[in-house]
């Protein structure tokens, strides 16, 4: 099942650079791993913003929440989830 997920990142302005870099490094590894597993289907940057538009393909709401709440940047993110269903005019 597909979910639209919008993630906006708000790092505290006084977070030390090396801590921020460490978290971002873990986030990237985490994101690449989920993409390789086919669960994080698409990941795009919203131009001009520290925000992404993602499509997740998972089996249940519980699996989705488990994956999202495990994001290293989760405590610093505002996340919005939208359930997507098949469109009657979709080719695929």
Q: How far is the CB of 22 from a second copy (least distance, A)?
A: 15
Nearer to a second copy, 18 or 49 (CB): 49
Give bridge partners of residue 7 from the DSSP assignment: 52, 79
User: Where do contacts with a second copy occur on this chain (CB under 8 A)?
Assistant: 1-5, 11-15, 27-28, 31-32, 35-36, 42-49, 52-53, 55, 60-62, 64-66, 68-69, 75-76, 79-92
Nearer to a second copy, 21 or 46 (CB): 46
Could you tell me which of 87, 64, 69 has the C-alpha nearest to residue 4?
A: 64
2 CB burial (10 A radius; 0-12, 13-18, 19+): middle
Nearer to a second copy, 21 or 45 (CB): 45
**Dihedral through CA 27, CA 69, CA 1, CA 8, nearest 10?**
-60
Q: How far is the CB of 2 from a second copy (least distance, A)?
A: 6
């Amino acid at each position: 099942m597909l979910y639209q997920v919008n993630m906006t990142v708000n790092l505290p302005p006084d977070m030390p650079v090396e801590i921020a870099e460490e978290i971002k490094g873990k986030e990237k590894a985490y994101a690449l791993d989920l993409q390789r597993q086919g669960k994080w289907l698409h990941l795009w940057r919203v131009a001009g913003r520290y925000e992404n538009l993602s499509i997740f393909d998972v089996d249940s709401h519980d699996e989705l929440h488990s994956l999202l709440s495990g994001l290293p940047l989760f405590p610093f993110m505002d996340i919005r989830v939208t359930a997507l269903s098949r469109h009657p005019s979709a080719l695929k």
